[in-house]
Structure 1
């Protein structure tokens, strides 16, 4: 047996498959059920979410005695704190549902409640309720339409719909078109169309402005408007047609700039300028604009920023094809981001017994270690081992926790030259996820 505690305690950890692992230092642990809280987004810091002690069936004083704490699950961002004296769960940071969950109908933040002596692990789900803090928004303030005076009554012209970052009843619920002599509005699902109700006469009116309003269903209701400028032209009677309604592609995360992801294609039966097709994005988020670009002439979509699987696993992009005189049509592009093993495991020392008496019995816990990896599937699993011929071992526990326990009698005069904290430092230095 080595006379150096450092050589005795050298360990190494190697990467495998699965989600984050915690290393706990108890021989017998128990994992308990979920606790859930539901509250609106944008509550002020310090606002009370609920009473965690009551939901766990504990006295508030027990939380402090058992060193209760809140851990974020995977993301590392903790949005709530625990008042150990009162048992109340309070808002620790701004919670913006749209920023966290986008347009998902359900927004749930996952945290974990850890209690010690004895160790218990409770999953805690924070259901974030949407408030009507966003108004409907059109991509542009002005939409230009060029329509032939020969267009038949009943002709339809697709208008880019409004987008509201809120969800459910707080999202866009209704469109209103200001009364005019020629057009009425037709709305079906997300498709908004101007319908020609009376034939156009260029000699009487060559241009007109129509006001379109989008309203959400919140209380009070919010609205957004766009002006549709119609120019009456002669004969452009065919719109571009995409080769397919939905395009699907995949992209490994962290692909280099200018990597081409997918190509869309549309044709127009007209000739000359009426048949020239150009491409553009429809209403897309700022994140999409920073990550992808589209070639207006060719229709290829390429990477210009960083596609990070841990931030977003897929993108849904609306693409517009427009002919030379303004008729347009839309297709959907779905880009799936595939995970790359680009995150190393991170080791956290949660608890440590220091100093350690030499006469402790075999099976005594020394400390608690937690390991996390932000990757997914096969890139997230980590396995840990400790060198042989030392009186310690790692014992798997709940989820991402392991316990370090003694396996034999310790003899300070014979072997101990460093404290348990020195061993933990060695554990950090010896962890090599690529080995």
Structure 2
């Protein structure tokens, strides 16, 4: 107001409006310096967080826009610059990247522009989306048949890219293992008992790896073939022992009079058989490959009614195994088919000088 110096003084008043013009002297401020988030993997595009920064200024000086400036080189996240809503661009894969540290900046629109930033940690939670994987789709192993029980024949391993129980693997054998093999939690396959190649030459079964997910566990299989290698654990066995033959004393020389045959349940050289007499036998020979016994001398002058031959069958294993068989040869007399005179005598008178 204004007042003059008169008496009485006169007074005049006026109203003055003062408008304070805003200066951009405040920066946007987040409530926290760090935010920690968790999001399951494999989710479709989803909003996970709203960044909120306040600016005390007015108008454009207080209008805030948001931007991701670090920690997302692959572009897996997106932020609405006006609302600050942070979303995933697509499903995240924990097995590729399990943790992100994003840097979000908030900028006002004043001149000069002010900004602040905040760190957002995103942990990608595991979902059981991976099956255990074996290094090979099949395995083949040889084992000697005389291997002791609990012999480890093979160790398999399956890896699972998931986390925690989703990635913990247990192993099982299919019923084709016939109870002859066992697998432990480390994937070691061992024999339950000694194997016998003569009963079964090979075993083919599946190993199944199953993760330990509490629901809907995932699994995969690999094929295992165990070949039982032969060990020379069987001796030759003669098919007929003793072998009895009947031949004539008139049998011609060089004729085959008998064949002594043996079998061996082993395989390869372990089942390859050679034959011989246990001692030198006069008048006979034996084929070392076939077991054929051949006559080398005439039997007509032989006074014995039978001959006994001892044949040894030896396999070619290392060490070799053998057995002895017996051949009994009976010699029979042949009936004389020529003219014979009666044993009785007759006296017939004959005059001398009788004509012929």
TM-score in terms of structure 1 length: 0.41
Q: Specify which structure has the higher proportion of helix.
A: 1
TM-score in terms of structure 2 length: 0.49
